[in-house]
Structure 1
Amino acid sequence: MRIGILGAGNMAGALGAQWTRAGHEIMVSGRDPARASALAATTGARAGTFREAAGFGDVAVVAVLAEAVPAVLAEAGDAARGKPVIDVTNDVGPHGFRPVAREIARLSGGHVVKAFNLCHVDVWRMTPPVFGGRPLAVPLCGDDPDALALARGLAEDLGCAPVDGGGLGRAELLEATAAFMIGLWSGGADAQAVLPPLEHSGAHPPA
Structure 2
Amino acid sequence: MRIGILGAGVMADALGTRWAAAGHELMVAGRTTQKARALAEKWGGRVGGFQETAAFGDAALIAVLYQGMPATLAAIGDGLRGKPVIDCNNPVEVDHFTLVTAPGQAMAWEIQNATGGQVVKAFNLCHARVWKMDEPLFDGRRLSVPYCTDEAAAAAVARQLIEQVGGEPVSVGDLRHAHHLEAMAAVVISLLFAGRDPSTVFNLVDALPPA
| TM-score where L is the length of structure 2 | 0.88
Query: Secondary structure of the equivalent of 2:126?
Result: coil
Deviation at 1:82, TM superposition (A): 1.2
2:180 to 166, 173, 179: 173
Deviation at 1:140, TM superposition (A): 0.7
CA offsets 1:28-82 (integer angstroms, 9 cap, x no match): 1112222211121122221111111111111011011111111111111001011
Say if 1:13 and 1:43, in contact at 8 Å, map to a contact too.
no
Greater radius of gyration (CA): 1
- Cα distance change on mapping 1:69 and 1:196 into 2, 3 Å: closer
- Cα distance change on mapping 1:130 and 1:47 into 2, 3 Å: same
Say if 1:50 and 1:75, in contact at 8 Å, map to a contact too.
yes
CA offsets 1:116-152 (integer angstroms, 9 cap, x no match): 0000011111111112211111101100000011000
| Pairing of 1:156-171 with structure 2 (within 5 A) | 156-171=163-178
* 2:20 alignment partner in structure 1: 20
* 2:146 alignment partner in structure 1: 139
- Cα distance change on mapping 1:206 and 1:40 into 2, 3 Å: closer
Query: Secondary structure of the equivalent of 2:147?
Result: strand
Say if 1:55 and 1:79, in contact at 8 Å, map to a contact too.
yes
Say if 1:20 and 1:26, in contact at 8 Å, map to a contact too.
yes
Distance 1:86 1:29 in 2: 15
Deviation at 1:187, TM superposition (A): 2.7
Query: Secondary structure of the equivalent of 1:179?
Result: helix
Query: Secondary structure of the equivalent of 2:5?
Result: strand
Distance 2:193 2:72 in 1: 29
- Cα distance change on mapping 1:22 and 1:196 into 2, 3 Å: closer
Query: Secondary structure of the equivalent of 1:178?
Result: helix
Q: Which amino acid aligns with 1:38?
A: A
Distance 1:31 1:137 in 2: 31
Report sequence identity in percent. 53
Deviation at 1:184, TM superposition (A): 2.8
Q: Which amino acid aligns with 2:38?
A: A
Q: Which amino acid aligns with 1:173?
A: H
Say if 2:126 and 2:201, in contact at 8 Å, map to a contact too.
no
Task: Give the gaps of 5 or more residues in structure 2.
Answer: none
Q: CA RMSD in A?
A: 2.2
Say if 2:125 and 2:201, in contact at 8 Å, map to a contact too.
no
| Pairing of 1:23-38 with structure 2 (within 5 A) | 23-38=23-38
1:155 paired to 2:135: no
1:113 to 120, 128, 149: 120
Higher relative contact order (CA 8 A, sep 6+): 2
